[in-house]
Structure 1
């Protein structure tokens, strides 16, 4: 199995009712990571993890059934791989975006970096727990897209970018972001063997669909 970890974002302990009233500033206030506005909102909805599910499925040719997501508020364990012999290999580091960026730029080499080393004496305070998919429906959406493949990933990714933009503009509620993505996925005609040109068309369609959905919703 591949086990992806998520901090849970700023709303890890919030109820669904509380999240419906979340403000932009609250959604941007990530407890452990310093990131840009769009990815901070993705972390709050857990759409970032939904996208990682899709990425893991295709990058590692791993069926969705062999991918799991767990909440790890301390953001020290970033991913784990469960081996067929029963052992588990984990990637550990302090929550600093410079390290994964450096790794991506220098792989397969391992070079000296600026990030601090891990203090393993604090490992006794680390926790892992399942994701509440009722409060974070983006996770279920990510698994659905990973299972069906084809055009679904491009549609959900574009819909999410459009919906996050609408939220940051104050035009939809925080909880509307994932709803908009689900609506776009449901309304598109799924395609399997998709060309790059067709994916770009679907990207534009999904963004327009989200804006049309927002316009319809605002009139209700």
Structure 2
């Protein structure tokens, strides 16, 4: 069987590390040919020494020097070519030896490299929500034009992909994304106002990075997923619903026009979705534990509280208006999440910052990369001003 070269953007993060575990379990013909990480040189050096990619990208020259030194300390048999910055990410994303690119960076940094991978005709296993949120039109157009495949790694969208495999578009009435509800599902607004970073990081189901975990606490992650689902599957905002499902056993569902509902269920382990994206359209055996419904006993569902979780409505608004507004919403959210993690604003201020920036945005088309990047930069500047005003007004930082 032909070797399947895998390039990973964000190899030292949760998705990246799980992708390497999946490749370990799959064995031949999967090979790691290129890796990209921001600045975790210690973990990246271990990965390079083990998997021996020929191309590696890091954020800066100083990180590259650190990586070379660590590889020498580990006694690595060869030092790969090391590239830096956004150009380095793009080189990894378009690596000639890679047939599949796992896009697992967090935030807007993954936009251009993911787009370039699609333009190069690669299969993109996508875990980076922001790329589709910001530039869904460009991404899907590039995939269609260049014969590239766009397969989701997010558990919810991966579940939808599996549910839709046997159905025609005309047979499907709506998509139903499930959400755990995050750590504040049963908290009132006052408790959320007082929430610390430590409390917000206690996700009840998944082990994720800081940004994604905070997005889960505000349910912005689900809002981003609504926009992502629109671009992946071609459904409009009114055809995409959200259900809170604390057990996180049903990863998503589709409702058909005759009232039937098809659900994809499984254990809470991202390796299932990653393997599906790497091996599609085949299904291969997996070493993961099997789902034991008898042990779980009961599954619960409830509608989301958009009064407490304002980010959901903001995301639906961005999708309905389209253009550059989703990119603006995403950028403002990233800045606000960083400010919360730094203890500068409260958890509930995240939605306030995002809404204020969206209200001030002058809408434009998202038909060109330059327009999207310009809107992204404007929104970050506007969000920084909103955050500074909140800090000055309050006279103290939020509890950490």
Deviation of 1:187 after TM superposition, in Å, equals 1.0
Moved more, 120-129 or 8-17: 120-129
Deviation of 1:201 after TM superposition, in Å, equals 1.0
Q: Identify if the C-alpha distance between structure 1 residues 78 and 215 changes in structure 2 by more than 3 Å, giving closer, same or farther.
A: same
What TM-score do the two structures reach when normalised by structure 1? 0.95
Q: Identify if the C-alpha distance between structure 1 residues 85 and 136 changes in structure 2 by more than 3 Å, giving closer, same or farther.
A: same
What TM-score do the two structures reach when normalised by structure 2? 0.53
**Aligned match of 1:79:** 252
CA contact (8 A) 2:345 2:390 kept: no
Q: Show structure 1 runs of 4+ deviating over 6 A.
A: none
CA contact (8 A) 2:218 2:309 kept: yes
* Distance in 1 between residues matched to 2:289 and 2:256, nearest whole Å: 28
Specify every segment of 5 or more residues in structure 2 that has no aligned partner in the other structure, as ranges.
1-173, 394-400
* Distance in 1 between residues matched to 2:201 and 2:377, nearest whole Å: 26
Larger RCO: Structure 1 or Structure 2 (Cα < 8 Å, ≥ 6 residues apart)? 1
The equivalent position to 1:101 in structure 2, one of 274, 277, 283, is 274
Structure possessing the higher radius of gyration over alpha carbons? 2
* Distance in 2 between residues matched to 1:124 and 1:12, nearest whole Å: 21
User: Which structure dedicates a bigger proportion of its chain to strand?
Assistant: 2
Instruction: Tell me the alpha carbon deviations over residues 68-124 of structure 1, each in whole angstroms, 9 at most, x when there is no partner.
Output: 101000000010000112211111011112222222333332222232211121454
Instruction: Tell me the alpha carbon deviations over residues 139-161 of structure 1, each in whole angstroms, 9 at most, x when there is no partner.
Output: 11121112111111111111111
Confirm or deny that 1:11 pairs with 2:184. Answer: yes
**Aligned match of 1:28:** 201
Q: Identify if the C-alpha distance between structure 1 residues 105 and 160 changes in structure 2 by more than 3 Å, giving closer, same or farther.
A: farther
Confirm or deny that 1:207 pairs with 2:389. Answer: no
The equivalent position to 2:306 in structure 1, one of 133, 154, 166, is 133
* Distance in 1 between residues matched to 2:276 and 2:333, nearest whole Å: 27
* Distance in 1 between residues matched to 2:279 and 2:332, nearest whole Å: 32
Moved more, 58-67 or 14-23: 58-67
* Distance in 2 between residues matched to 1:167 and 1:119, nearest whole Å: 38
Confirm or deny that 1:184 pairs with 2:357. Answer: yes
**Aligned match of 2:322:** 149
**Aligned match of 2:284:** 111
* Distance in 2 between residues matched to 1:118 and 1:142, nearest whole Å: 32
Q: Identify if the C-alpha distance between structure 1 residues 205 and 114 changes in structure 2 by more than 3 Å, giving closer, same or farther.
A: farther
